[in-house]
């Protein structure tokens, strides 16, 4: 799914390397959206964007659009980039691991960002989670959440609870105290708990921050998707092209907020339902309640999630029904929750 996740935004000085960390020489190069830019000096990685100096001018290259990055003197990293382009993920993961242990410290965030995809594609989920947590700790910003590991192991995999332990353990660190970091990482936990059918997933909806009346919780991201992109999802939904809905909605959710985000979550959830993917549908519904607990759709989404998991996870469903009754006692969903819980 998670989510993440395809949609990185412009650079931010909050995560740029310190002034003394700019160490790359003007012999680096990048193949960006099919064009080669040589004689640049890569200085760091911030908010999903590679920063570089090019003849005295600051340039920024969105990581997702970089076909290949070559760093002077970084043989292991460069070999990893070659393997990545060839989709030899096993070799890429091995070489990125070497680069992380032997490469220039100042460029470690760049290497970690690239390594996440390789670890993800070779089933090294725990390593992907650790790399993600390290890179996110540098500065928890909404855009970086798009880098999170997306290839969830099978529901019975021991890596899922271990990954959850890694995240919950690190959530106690001071760097993750910001509301956005807490919300983003709880969303990742929600994906893990949903995949493993862990009842703690339902409890997370109660842990979501409840904002003051008249305010709206923030969903990972920073701005609304272009109207034409949102309408393309709505068109696919109206045309019952549910695979297309899922494909189009998730990338947009990295930058969507407000009503657009809720609409996308709900369409994605209903699309998964139509595709008979109950677990994925429940997760999408729960994300509405986690990110927008005061929205009118929150109790509706919680009820839909509870109904979906009632047979396979009755305890989790019971928690969700109780959540609806406790937090939204006067909603139509609460009446149904009381009936269904019985």
- H helix intervals, 196-296: 200-207, 227-238, 242-252, 258-274, 278-291
Q: How confident is the model at residue 205 (pLDDT cuts 50, 70, 90)?
A: low
Averaged over 4-11, what is the pLDDT?
A: 26
Q: Can you give the pLDDT at residue 222?
A: 41
Give φ, ψ of 60 to 5 degrees.
Answer: -135, 135
Of residues 251 and 39, more confidently modeled: 39
User: Under a CB-based contact definition with an 8 Å cutoff, are residues 190 and 168 in contact?
Assistant: no
C-alpha 201/C-alpha 179 separation (Å) is: 19
145, 149, 152, 157 alpha-carbon torsion, rounded to 10°: -120
pLDDT at position 27, please?
Answer: 83
Angle at 305 between CA 302 and CA 307, to 5 degrees: 110
Confidence of residue 84 (pLDDT cuts 50, 70, 90): very high
For residue range 233-243, list pLDDT tens digits in order: 888 888 889 99
What CA–CA distance (Å, rounded) separates 137 from 130? 11
pLDDT in the model for residue 143: 66
State pLDDT tens for residues 100-132: 988 777 888 889 989 999 999 999 999 999 999
CA distance 287 to 134: 24
Per-residue model confidence as pLDDT tens digits over 190-204: 888 878 877 777 666
The residues with which 46 forms a beta bridge, in sequence order, are: 49
Higher pLDDT, 43 or 98: 98
Residue indicated by tokens 């064009």? 35
127 or 152: which carries more pLDDT confidence? 127
pTM of the predicted model, to two decimals? 0.57
pLDDT at 218 (0 to 100): 36
Q: Quick one: CA dihedral 213, 219, 223, 227, positive or negative? A: negative
**pLDDT tens column, 294-318:** 888 889 999 998 898 888 778 778 8
**Highest mean pLDDT pick, 79-88, 242-251, 312-321:** 79-88
- Half-sphere exposure (Cβ direction) of 280: Cα atoms closer than 13 Å: 19
Domains in the chain with CATH codes: 13-198 (no CATH), 227-341 (1.25.40.10)
pLDDT of residue 125: 94
């Amino acid at each position: 799914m998670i989510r993440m996740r395809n949609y990185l935004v412009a650079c931010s000085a909050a995560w740029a390397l310190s002034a003394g960390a700019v160490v790359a020489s003007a012999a680096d190069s990048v193949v960006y959206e099919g064009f080669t830019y040589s004689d640049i000096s890569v200085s760091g990685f911030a908010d999903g964007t590679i920063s570089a100096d090019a003849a005295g001018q600051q340039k920024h290259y969105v990581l997702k659009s970089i076909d290949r990055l070559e760093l002077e003197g970084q043989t292991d990293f460069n070999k990893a980039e070659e393997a990545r382009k060839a989709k030899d993920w096993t070799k890429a993961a091995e070489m990125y691991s070497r680069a992380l242990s032997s490469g220039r410290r100042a460029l470690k965030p760049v290497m970690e960002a690239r390594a996440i995809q390789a670890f993800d594609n070779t089933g090294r989920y725990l390593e992907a989670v650790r790399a993600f947590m390290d890179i996110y700790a540098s500065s928890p910003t909404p855009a970086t959440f798009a880098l999170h590991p997306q290839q969830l192991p099978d529901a019975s995999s021991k890596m899922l609870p271990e990954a959850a332990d890694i995240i919950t353990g690190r959530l106690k660190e001071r760097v993750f105290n910001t509301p956005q970091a807490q919300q983003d990482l709880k969303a990742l936990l929600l994906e893990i708990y949903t995949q493993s059918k862990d009842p703690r997933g339902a409890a997370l909806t109660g842990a979501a921050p409840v904002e003051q009346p008249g305010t709206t919780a923030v969903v990972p991201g920073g701005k609304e998707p272009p109207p034409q992109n949102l309408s393309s999802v709505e068109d696919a939904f109206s045309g019952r092209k549910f695979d297309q809905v899922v494909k189009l909605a998730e990338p947009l959710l990295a930058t969507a907020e407000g009503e657009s985000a809720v609409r996308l979550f709900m369409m994605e959830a209903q699309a998964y339902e139509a595709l008979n993917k109950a677990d994925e549908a429940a997760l999408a519904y729960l994300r509405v309640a986690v990110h927008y607990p005061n929205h009118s759709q929150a109790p509706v989404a919680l009820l839909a999630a509870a109904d979906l998991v009632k047979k396979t996870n009755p305890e989790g469903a019971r928690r969700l029904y109780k959540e609806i009754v406790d937090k939204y006692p006067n909603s139509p969903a609460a009446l149904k929750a009381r009936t269904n819980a019985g």
